[in-house]
Amino acid sequence: MLGSSSGGYILLELIIALSMFAIGVLGLAQTLNTSMEVANILNKDQRVRIGLRSFLEEVRRKPLSDMSTNYVDVATGVTYTSSIERVALTTTRGEVLSDLYNLKVVATFVAGSEQQEESVDVYVYKPATR
């Protein structure tokens, strides 16, 4: 009679141990899934920043009339938009720097379920050709 009672406790302990193990494994699986989602978001963010930098350099080299443009990167799903605005700065001698422009580049993309924007502003000196 002592042997059958002991076997029941071992079975109960085994069920409890397996349940605790299953809960632990499920917790680890959820943590791994969350970390993979975060890694994907960070990778996309890095790709957007590299694309933003490349687009900025490309647009900056164009003539002034072609600096305001749009580009859609189909592979990453990012829309790059550039706009240019004249900036008038006055020097300490009272002269106006009229060939200075503010180039703004905006990257619009979807991260997770939200639409996000990253932007860069750069001052560009484009003297008038004579």
* pLDDT tens-digit series, residues 67-77: 999 999 998 88
Domain count, the chain: 1
Per-residue pLDDT tens digits for 29-74: 999 999 998 998 888 889 999 999 999 999 999 988 889 999 999 9
Instruction: State both tokens at 9.
Output: 């406790």
85 in Cβ contact with 101 (< 8 Å): yes
Domain contains 83: yes
Spatial neighbors of 105 by CB under 8 A, at least 6 apart, are 52, 55, 56, 59, 80, 81, 82, 119, 120, 122
Q: Which of 23-32, 71-80, 107-116 has the lowest mean pLDDT?
A: 107-116
pLDDT band for 1, please (50, 70, 90 cuts).
very low
**Bridge partner residues of 90 (DSSP):** 96
Domain contains 106: yes
> Which residue type is seen at 109?
F
Domain contains 130: no
Spatial neighbors of 31 by CB under 8 A, at least 6 apart, are none
Q: Write out the residue range of the structural domain in which residue 67 sits.
A: 2-125
CA-CA distances (angstroms) from residue 83 to 38, 48, 59? 31, 18, 10
Percent of the chain at pLDDT > 90 equals 48
Instruction: State both tokens at 91.
Output: 């020097």
pLDDT at 127 over 90: no
User: CA-to-CA distance for 104 and 122, rounded, in angstroms?
Assistant: 6
Domain contains 71: yes
